[in-house]
Amino acid sequence: CFSANKPWWCTDCESAYQAGMGLTLGADRTQMVSACASCAAPLPDGERYACGRCMSQYPGRVSAAVARGCMACPGAARGSGKEWACGEYCTDPALVTTGAQADACAACVGAPRNREPYGCKHCLQAAITWGQKAGVAGSDTQALVLGACFSCVQAGVTSGTCVGRCLSDTRLSSGSGAGAQPPAVTCLQSLAAS
What local confidence, expressed as pLDDT, does residue 179 receive? 60
What local confidence, expressed as pLDDT, does residue 183 receive? 87
Q: What is the mean pLDDT of residues 153-171?
A: 87
Amino acid occupying residue 110: G
Q: How many CB atoms lie within 10 A of CB 192?
A: 19
What local confidence, expressed as pLDDT, does residue 191 receive? 93
DSSP state of 138: T
- Please state at what angle helix 159-166 crosses helix 183-193, rounded to 10 degrees: 150
What local confidence, expressed as pLDDT, does residue 151 receive? 95
Counted residue by residue, the chain has a size of 194
What local confidence, expressed as pLDDT, does residue 177 receive? 53
* Tens-place pLDDT, residues 53-75: 999 899 888 888 999 999 999 99
What local confidence, expressed as pLDDT, does residue 14 receive? 86
What local confidence, expressed as pLDDT, does residue 69 receive? 94
What is the pTM for the complete model shown?
0.87
Q: What is the percent of the chain with per-residue pLDDT over 90, rounded to a whole number?
A: 59
DSSP state of 126: H
